[in-house]
Amino acid sequence: MGEAGPPAAGGGASETDAPGAGAASPHGVGQAVAHTVRALRSSHGWTLDQLATRAGVSKGVLVALEQGRGNPSLGTLIRISEALCVPLTRLVQIEEEPPIRLFPPDRHVALWRGPVGGSGTLLAGSDPRPSVELWIWELRPGEPHDSDPHAPGTREVVYVERGTLTLTVDGRCQRVAEGTAAVFFGDRRHSYVNEGDVPCRYFLAVMDP
C-alpha cells in the first residue's frame, strides 16, 4: 500500500514498519485492531491457527495482536487484512461507515516509520471492498520503502508533491518527478526510494478489488 503501508494498501513492510506516534494514539490503534480482528475471525469461524496460516504470520504475533499487545508491522497488518478480505482501514477504525465519513487530522494513522525519519500515514479509506486507501508518504534523502505484492488486481496511483521519487515495479525502475503522477500494478513486488538530496513527499491511492 500504500505498503502502504498500510500496508499496504498502500505497501509491505520491513522491521522498521510500525504504527507510529501519529495523531491517533498507538494504544487506540492497537485496541481497534484487536477488536476488529477478533470479530472478523469469529465471523469466519476460523481458529487462531487458521487465520495465522492464511495470513502467513505466526500464531504468537496474532495472539498478541488480538490482545492489543505488541507493535505489528505494516506488512503484518496488510497480510491479515487480505486474509480477512477487508481493507486495511477496516482494521484500524471500528465505526460503521456513514454516507459521508470524515477523517480529521486526529484520525490519521502513521503506520510506517522509516530508518532515517520518513513516514507513511493512512489518511482515509473506504469499506467494504472494493476499497480505496489514501496515504501520504515522506521519504528522506536516500530512504527506501519496499512493498510485497498486494492482492491480485490491486492498482496504485502515486502523485509526487515534492522532490523526485524512484519507483520500481516488477524490476522496472522509473523516476517520478515533482508534480507528476503514475499508475502501477500493486499486485507485483514494488519499492519506493528517494534518491535525491531533499525530502520526497507523495500521495498514494491504493485500489483494492
pLDDT for the residue numbered 129: 67
pLDDT for the residue numbered 69: 84
* Span 102-111, average pLDDT: 91
pLDDT for the residue numbered 73: 86
pLDDT at 151 over 70: yes
| Cβ–Cβ < 8 Å for 123, 86 | no
Phi, psi of 184 (to 5 degrees): -150, 170
In this prediction, what percent of the chain has a pLDDT beyond 70?
83
Q: Where in the chain is the domain with CATH 1.10.260.40?
A: 26-92
| Cβ–Cβ < 8 Å for 122, 149 | no
pLDDT for the residue numbered 30: 79
Angle, nearest 10°, between helix axes 48-55 and 26-44? Answer: 110
User: C-alpha distances in angstroms, 152 versus 4, 68, 125, 204, 209?
Assistant: 16, 30, 19, 18, 8
In terms of average pLDDT, the best of 11-20, 70-79, 86-95, 194-203 is 194-203
User: C-alpha distances in angstroms, 97 versus 63, 90, 114, 205?
Assistant: 27, 10, 31, 19
Q: What would the pLDDT profile of 31-61 be if each residue is shown by its tens digit? A: 888 888 988 998 888 999 999 999 999 999 9
Q: Where in the chain is the domain with CATH 2.60.120.10?
A: 105-208
Q: How many CB atoms lie within 10 A of CB 123?
A: 17
In this prediction, what percent of the chain has a pLDDT beyond 90?
58
Q: Which class does domain 26-92 fall in?
A: mainly alpha
Task: Provide, for the chain, the percentages of residues in helix, strand and coil under a 3-state DSSP scheme, each rounded to the nearest 5.
Answer: 25, 30, 45
pLDDT for the residue numbered 177: 98
User: 44 or 138: whose pLDDT is higher?
Assistant: 138
**CATH number listed for the domain at residues 105-208:** 2.60.120.10
